[in-house]
Every structure is written in C-alpha cells, then in structure tokens.
Chains A and B, each alone.
Chain A
C-alpha cells in the first residue's frame, strides 16, 4: 500500500500566511529604522556605537544564557535584536560604552531568560534594563545637561542643555500658545523632527510616528494602545493646566506608547483589556510627570502596568455566547 505523494495527510491548518516571530520582529526593526537613522543624524556616530554594542550584547547574552540553561538556540527569532535596539533607544548619546552591556544583561538574562525566554517575560525587558541603569547610574542616565542634537552644525563638539521635561519642571517650558506664536527652542516643528535633547530614539517624533503607522498598516500592532496611552497622558496633563502637545512630544512618550507598551507578551489580549491597560499607562505617566520625583515616568508606568496585565486579563475575559452566570444560592434564585 503506497500512498501517492500528492496526497499528503496532515493536521490543520493547511494554509499558512507565512508570518512568524521572525517576520514580526523584522517588521518592528523596519519600523524602528527611521528613528535609528534620525538618532545618528541628530547625535552623531556615537549613537551607532551604542546601538551596535547594545544589540551585540543582547544577542550575545541571549545565545549564552540559552546555552548555559540548556535550552534550544533562539537567536533566529530576532527578538534579542529588537530588545537591544529598544534598549539603546532609551539611552543618552553620551553614555559610557559599557553601560548598555549591563542593561543588556539585565534585560536578556534576568528579565527574559530567567523567566523562560521569549513570550514568558512578565515585564518589558528593554524597559527594565533602562530602569536598572537609571537607578544605578542616575548621573549618567538622567544628567542635568543632555547633549544637544546636531552638534557638528553648531560647530561645538559638546553643547548641552536640560531635557524638555526638566525644563517643564523648572517652569521654562512654553505654553500651548507660545509653542506656535513665539520664538522658542520647543516649537512644534523642531520637536517633531527631534531637534531637542533626549535619549537616542525618543526625540524624533516624526520618525516614531512613521514607524508606528507602518506597524499599524502591517497589523503588527493595534493602534488602540498607542492612541489611548498618548490620549490619556495628553488629556490628564491638559486637565491639570499644562501644555498637552508639549507632553506628547517631550520625553519618551511616543517611543514608549508605540514600541514598548505594545509588546505582545506584556500587554492584554482583548480590546477592553488593551484600553484599560493603555489608560493606566497614560494616567501613571501623567501623574508621575506632574507630581512625581522624576521628570519622566513612561518607563515606570509601562512596567507597572505590565505587572498588572494578568489581573486586567482576568477582569476583561470575554463571556462565551449564551453564558449564564451561575447562581450563588439556590434558595435565593427561586
């Protein structure tokens, strides 16, 4: 009994769109590319070095940790490359070169591989890497004086200024009206192009929006989380009498809302859950920015909401069609 070769017997699914973790991660990398290019244009070649070190360290730790723990090699899914790039995006351009290596160790080994690798981490690895670096080296990660973009045009090698959110805390930030009418360092166009001090990948809002648009069109991410996240932050800051546009364009809100909060592993599955999660992220970000000790709160807000995701999932589990809630007491129901 010979089975003809054309009659392959297999279990469903029989059609596959060809999408897998690697193609998804490639899409994310492609979406991050504009911001990466802009960071090199804005802050110089050192960004390239930091990104290369961060990515190489993440890939190396991913390989080494899987090897030591006796698990199959997972470099092919490219998730370590994405983590490395996102980590680098969260660092200031003048950071000592060895600090990303520590951040990569925390992100990949402690947050990701200790908990079982891709899909098992309970918080965003790149963000925890950033937070550990921020808490450990506050003078390097959150300096009072950030490098200004385009130093080679200004002709001076190191020109520094306070970050926009620090300016906001000092009360030197413009109001919504002043942003459009008066000559200020923070006019909407230069904020959109990223001509302001900040971390590598967070400054150029236009590039981040472009990447986010690409991910939404490719349906890699749903636009719900970024929109609700940014909307909530803008609404809360506006309600508290601050400039909502400035809050949207300053700090790492765009980067966090588009690329960090939408990580599959650490965000809820349902539509309702996504809204709740993104609302929490936005609210916490606004509250930390308005009343907190630190000028910026996006990373902490996302990590806190990451931890709450299992509980959000529990309260937003959809009811099956025709589901009847079981009655608690038999006597009372009659």
Chain B
C-alpha cells in the first residue's frame, strides 16, 4: 500500500508529467513561463487548486451523478480557484500581476479537470490527494525549468539577477516559447525512454519480425552454430 502512494506521487514528476508527457495545460505553460517566478507561482497556484479539488471530488465521487459530473467538477474547481485568487491578490500582489488573466483561467486548466476525471473520481481520498501533489509538483517543475530557460536566454536575468548583456528577445516571445517547449518535451521523452528501458530479454522466434523468412532456423540449428 505504501508503494502505491509513492508511485502515485512520483508518476507526475516525469513519467506522466502533465505538461511534458501528457501535453495538458499547454496554454499557461506557453504564456506564463517568461520568468521563473511567474512559472513557479502559476505552478504552485495550480497545485493548491489541484490538491483541494482532487480531495473534494474524491469525497463526492459516489454522490455526483454520472451525467452532470463535468459541471459539478468545474463548479468545485472554480470555487477553489476563486479562493486561491483572492489569497494571491491579498498577499502576493506581484505574482498576481505577473499571472494576470491566467490565474482565474486555472478553472479551465485541463490538468485539473483531467485528474478529476481520470483519477479523483475513481480513487479514495488520500490517494487522490497524493496524485494531486505529484501532478501539481510535476507541473510546477516543468514551468520552473521552462521559465528559467526562457528568462535567462530571453531577458538575461534569473529571478531578476542580471546574467547576460545581450539577451535573445525571441525566447520571451511566443516562437521562443514553442521552441523551448518542444525541446523540453523531447528531453523528457528521451529521459523517460532511458528510465523505462527494460533489461534486455532473450528474443525468441515469436517476437522476431524475420521469423517467417528464416523458417525458425534458430530453433532448428541455432544452438549448434
């Protein structure tokens, strides 16, 4: 049982990273990540909403009728987004300014609705909360990395500290965002492929595409050769 929690927690980091592997929530990913701070702020705000909505939806999963589940999920999510937005406005006005319209738009972020539909509506409360933490942190990490790359190359700064004299403005514009996004997806796929590689199995004739052509020569005289 303990292993299941660990698995649900870490799957969002890389293997099922919502942005880089599932390609969900790409709109805030591209729009917000012009700086590290905005990326982390967006990620954490979405994480809080994700955990809360996962918990509540998991609690109500036997109460919500199947046919109206999407409006019900959206209502729950919108409630938590409003709470988060009010808190951010009150205590972190800088982040509120950086996120702008994308903060209330967390309501329609497909990661949150996707986890509600795919996970929280089918799993117990604690597991759903852990899933929310993992997915939210995976989202935050992806946004932070992307924001760091784009801020350093595009604005020449990291968390406001000057690093480069002549930044390449294209990286904080839309084309640079798409480019960095594509590169990160490629990198995540490469790492996941490497991690997921299973130990080499002894290939028999059954799995070999050339089995028909060689008439099973391995079985006939393979050992002798």
Asked if residues A138 and B168 are in contact (CB atoms below 8 Å), the reply is no
Count of chain B residues with a beta carbon within 8 Å of a chain A beta carbon: 9
Distance between Cα atoms of A135 and B178 in the complex (Å): 15
A216 within 8 A of B: no
Asked if residues B168 and A102 are in contact (CB atoms below 8 Å), the reply is yes
Q: Which residues of B contact A136 (CB under 8 A)?
A: 167-171
A271 within 8 A of B: no
Asked if residues B175 and A135 are in contact (CB atoms below 8 Å), the reply is yes
B166 within 8 A of A: yes
A269 within 8 A of B: no
Q: Which residues of B contact A132 (CB under 8 A)?
A: 168, 170
Contact with A along B145-177 (1 / 0, CB 8 A): 000000000000000000000111111010100
Q: Which residues of B contact A110 (CB under 8 A)?
A: 179
Distance between Cα atoms of A231 and B175 in the complex (Å): 32
Nearest chain A CB to B34 CB, angstrom units = 14
Distance between Cα atoms of A96 and B179 in the complex (Å): 24
Q: Which residues of A contact B169 (CB under 8 A)?
A: 135-138
| Most B-side CB within 10 Å, residue of A132, A136, A137, A140 | A136
Distance between Cα atoms of A247 and B102 in the complex (Å): 44
Distance between Cα atoms of A132 and B171 in the complex (Å): 10
Q: Which residues of A contact B179 (CB under 8 A)?
A: 110
Distance between Cα atoms of A132 and B153 in the complex (Å): 13
Asked if residues B166 and A137 are in contact (CB atoms below 8 Å), the reply is yes
Distance between Cα atoms of A96 and B165 in the complex (Å): 13
| Most A-side CB within 10 Å, residue of B166, B167, B171 | B166
Nearest chain B CB to A104 CB, angstrom units = 14
Distance between Cα atoms of A138 and B166 in the complex (Å): 11
Nearest chain A CB to B180 CB, angstrom units = 12
Nearest chain B CB to A8 CB, angstrom units = 33
Nearest chain A CB to B9 CB, angstrom units = 35
Chain B, Cβ-Cβ closest to A140: B166
Nearest chain B CB to A101 CB, angstrom units = 12
Q: Which residues of A contact B171 (CB under 8 A)?
A: 136
Nearest chain A CB to B202 CB, angstrom units = 27
Asked if residues B173 and A135 are in contact (CB atoms below 8 Å), the reply is yes
Nearest chain A CB to B101 CB, angstrom units = 24
Distance between Cα atoms of A132 and B168 in the complex (Å): 9
Chain B, Cβ-Cβ closest to A102: B168
Q: Which residues of A contact B175 (CB under 8 A)?
A: 135
Distance between Cα atoms of A96 and B169 in the complex (Å): 16
The residues in A between 86 and 118 inclusive whose CB is less than 8 angstroms from any CB of B are: 96, 102, 110
Nearest chain B CB to A95 CB, angstrom units = 11
A135-B173, A135-B175 known; 11 new pairs, CB 8 Å cut-off, are A96-B166, A102-B168, A110-B179, A132-B170, A135-B169, A136-B168, A136-B169, A136-B170, A136-B171, A137-B169, A138-B169
19 contacts between A and B (CB under 8 A): A96-B166, A102-B168, A110-B179, A132-B168, A132-B170, A135-B169, A135-B170, A135-B173, A135-B175, A136-B167, A136-B168, A136-B169, A136-B170, A136-B171, A137-B166, A137-B168, A137-B169, A138-B169, A140-B166
Interface pairs A-B: 9 shortest CB-CB = A136-B168, A136-B170, A135-B170, A136-B169, A132-B170, A135-B169, A137-B166, A135-B173, A138-B169
